[in-house]
Structure 1
Amino acid sequence: MQPVHFVPEIAPLNKVMLEFFEESQHLFVVVDEYGSVTGVISLEDILEEIIGREIVDESDSTQNMRAFARAAGKERSLSSSGSTNGQEVKKLNKEEGRR
């Protein structure tokens, strides 16, 4: 078992990439300025940002993860104006089959 490595969410990608090589790891836990966990980052995430496209490997079941994530997000999203009150949002959620 490897120790967990933490990186701040404001760390520049080039520094995080160097840390990946120095630590010989491929996954870090990302923390905010208070030390709360905000997510994880992988070496693959950084490489995808650099080259500007998704890296698909043998473990990926979906060829275009960005398109998949966008579609999944649209299915879970609900659009309304900023002036919509809470009762209207509840009604819209019920109409969409949400709680």
Structure 2
Amino acid sequence: MDDVLLVMLKLDGTWMSDYTFSSLDTFGIRIGLHSSYTSLLDMLRGILNQYKPNHSFRISYMVDGCPPPVFIVDDETLKFYLYMKCLQSDVAKLPLCVE
């Protein structure tokens, strides 16, 4: 297993009533397996060019057949996501969705 995961990142979007995520931008990013929630937020600020420390993001993902979306809110929920992502070989599966 590599120390880095490839993740699709859907930015500036909204969850719709049918549990699809409608976003304006999609990027491919690399996330280290041992990343912290704070480092993920810093990466998002860098991508969005928003260096406001108090800017908040809602980060989530969807597990097939298991709506509603699962939110990432701290180190533990990020670790769970990264573990699930390790089990998924298709880079398009389990994208991170950022509101």
- State the TM-score, normalizing by the size of structure 1: 0.25
Larger proportion of helix = 1
Higher RCO (C-alpha under 8 Å, 6+ residues apart): 2
Q: Which has the larger radius of gyration?
A: 1
Higher-strand-fraction structure: 2
Q: Give the TM-score of the pair, scaled to structure 2.
A: 0.25
